[in-house]
Amino acid sequence: MGVFSAYCTYLFLTQINFNIMKKVFLIILVLCSTFSVVAQQYDTAVSPLKGEKWWGGLVALGSQMPFNSTTEWYDLGRKNLNNQVVPLLLSSEGRYIWSEQPFRFRLQNDTLLLHSDYEKLNVISAGKNIKGCLSQCFCQLFSAFGEATRRNIFF
């Protein structure tokens, strides 16, 4: 009777372990599929306006701007070229792209290709040329140039 009892206990514990392993596997599977949904990536293609050129992103490449009609991929999150990057691109036709997070970009036959791991990037029209665009960007994006800061500069 002792051997039979030990065998029954073994089978019972094996069945419990199998059920626990099944539940753990299902939990891991659900978590992995959830993370893959959360890790969505966003790609955007920006068609060029007539004669449009782009500046920005990498300060160290300022002497090479405006960018050529076809470039390599520039990754603002990984390739910072001496810590001088900003997630802002400005267009000669008064458009800009801004993000709070780093993104990747390249030009391919004057079409601007954007890739973000965080959000969909949008092109914003902010003037007729780069000067108007830059002025409006500073006022809208950087509070140091906003009305509230100007009032607080002088006591």
pLDDT in tens, 71-114: 999 999 888 887 788 899 999 999 999 999 999 999 999 999 99
Give whole-number Cα distances, 118 to 38, 73, 143, in Å. Answer: 10, 17, 23
In the beta sheet, which residues pair with residue 85?
Answer: 58
pLDDT in tens, 103-138: 999 999 999 999 999 999 999 998 899 888 888 887
Measured distance CA(37)–CA(4) in Å, rounded? 50
Work out the number of other CB atoms within 10 angstroms of the CB of residue 91: 26
Determine contact, residues 116/101, Cβ cutoff 8 Å: yes
pTM over 0.85: no
